[in-house]
A = this chain, B = another copy of it.
Amino acid sequence: ILNWQCIYDKIENVVRRRKPSSGRVKRAALKNEYDRDPEMRKKMEAYVLDLQSRIVTALEEIEDEGDEASAAFDGVERRPGKKFRRDPWERPNGRGHGLTCVIQDGSVFEKGGVNVSVIYGDLPKAVLERMSAYQTNMELEKVKSMKFCAIGLSMVIHPRNPHAPTFHCNYRYFDTDNGGMWWFGGGSDLTPSYLYEEDAVHFHTVLKNACDKFGEDLYAEFKTTCDLYFRNTHRNNEMRGIGGVFFDDFDRFEASKSFEMAKSLGNSVIESYCPLVRRRKDTPFTENQKRWQQLRRGRYVEFNLLHDRGTKFGIAMPDARTESILMSLPLTARWEYKHSPEVGTEEAKLMDAVLTPKDWVSL
């Protein structure tokens, strides 16, 4: 039970958030404003499996093209055309299943994974009791337990070339059998070692377009959430990269429209990222630039292991599939004592971008 603390805490937070701060506690306070769609689990699973397949295909096409610069750099002939390893898995006793797709030591992609997981769990009585402390009048009092389901795609790609950025995204759906809770969460974000402003503008513009159909302020809201979330608080609050979008506990529209919004962002993954890798993967680079990339990957590791809620939640789960969770880590990383780029360099320009959020789409 202790190991599930993360998800319990999260659910409690959502419940707290939904509790009217004053006035009579309403019976429906725990429930979403909009009803849950009983077919949503099926729809979401079908969607993320299809998205995963499309993303893997798109990345394999890039992998086929090779990275001339890396071959020239280290003299290692890597045959292009490496495929993702497809690794289906199942949790015992019908508690979930998934498909992990991993690429490693490719010609273009040093390491990366696209993972779909479907997890079934059960909130125990103790958690339900804590919940009913917030609402004296809730249906849950009569329930012995609450089954939930979490379905998502998560993806991290670390290209070999220091000029090509690292990409991460995660799109997920959560609901409960009874109690009527449901929400979507997710986001995409970019982590370059070197800043190309036109790449940042492209990335953020694609994300903004994906959001705009659903509300004109959504992009700005999700971008801010992303900038605030992906921060190495122990490193002077520097961001992991140049951001993107991030949202959580999303149930603001009815279920079908919320799903459409998540899909709109999920569908933007290939367009937001693939052109950037193509644009940069053959750019020649130096020993120093490779070293800088490795130092930035060290920061990536620090964020993922020290701060990321997804990682913490993941490894704390009973029967956690550690290899699927930690596939987000790069193939290699580096740490130097007190390394700091010199003023006026390209490395310093990247540091400026991760220390101060920018409004990329207006550039």
Contacts and interface: CB of A to CB of B under 8 A. Distances in A.
A337 B104 contact: yes
Contact of A235 (B87, B102, B302, B322): B322
A57 to B, nearest CB: 20
Interface string A169-212: 00000000000000000000000000000000000000000000
A323 interface: yes
A298 B329 contact: yes
Interface in A88-142: 102, 104, 111, 113
Contacts of A234: 315-316, 320, 322, 325
A56 interface: no
A13 to B, nearest CB: 16
Contacts of A233: 315
A58 interface: no
A327 interface: yes
Nearest to A332: B334
Contacts of A323: 337-338
A85 B338 CA distance: 11
A294 B330 CA distance: 13
A191 to B, nearest CB: 16
Given A322-B234, A322-B235, A329-B298, A335 B111 contact: yes
Given A234-B322, A320-B234, A336 B104 contact: yes
Interface string A300-343: 01100110000000011000101101110111111111100000
Contact of A337 (B113, B298, B315): B113
Nearest to A305: B305
Interface in A5-20: none
A62 B332 CA distance: 28
A117 to B, nearest CB: 15
Given A302-B305, A315-B234, A322-B235, A330 B337 contact: no
Interface of A: 85, 87, 102, 104, 111, 113, 233-235, 294, 298, 301-302, 305-306, 315-316, 320, 322-323, 325-327, 329-338
Given A87-B338, A111-B337, A301-B333, 20 more contacts: A85-B337, A102-B337, A104-B336, A111-B335, A113-B337, A234-B316, A234-B322, A294-B332, A298-B329, A302-B305, A306-B315, A326-B335, A327-B337, A329-B335, A330-B335, A332-B332, A332-B333, A332-B335, A333-B333, A333-B334
